[in-house]
Amino acid sequence: MALTLRQQVTALYDVAFNRDPDLAGLQHHLDLITSGRLDLYGLADAMVASEEFASTTGREGNPVVTIQRYYSNGLERGGTVEESAAWLDLILGGRADLGDALVGFALSPEYATLVGWHHDAA
């Protein structure tokens, strides 16, 4: 069984902001996604561009700080040197952005296991 859309959006909030979404915000985002006006990557990009995100990670969007924040918020641990370097290589090489990384952390099997959600490998 794959994660529900509600779980996926909740995971984005947790990794990005270290909190659950408020009910109105959650419903708004679910409505946008189910209507096809937004996808998870668009939501992640909007989160990264938000004032709330800037207030916790810095307006400059330093990828080193942000990736470590994703590890801390979402996986409740620091990233190893190798793990962090792999993400930074993708971001600094232009093959991913901070929104892509946010989705990667939020939808990872490690995150799902940590919060007690069943997550299929497929």
- Note the pLDDT tens digit of each residue in 31-75: 999 999 999 999 999 999 999 999 887 666 789 999 999 999 999
Confirm whether 120 is domain-assigned: no
Between residues 83 and 59, the one the model is more confident about: 83
Confirm whether 11 is domain-assigned: yes
- Note the pLDDT tens digit of each residue in 85-122: 999 999 999 999 999 999 999 999 999 999 988 655 44
Confirm whether 30 is domain-assigned: yes
Query: Averaged over 5-16, what is the pLDDT?
Result: 96
CATH at 30: 1.10.3130
Two structure tokens written together for 120: 């299929």
Which range of residues forms the domain containing residue 23?
A: 5-115
Q: Give the C-alpha separation, 92 to 86, whole Å.
A: 10
| Count of domains forming the chain | 1
Burial tier of 69 (Cβ tally within 10 Å: 0-12, 13-18, 19+): buried
CA dihedral for 44, 46, 48, 53, sign (positive or negative)? negative
Does pTM top 0.95 for this prediction? Answer: no
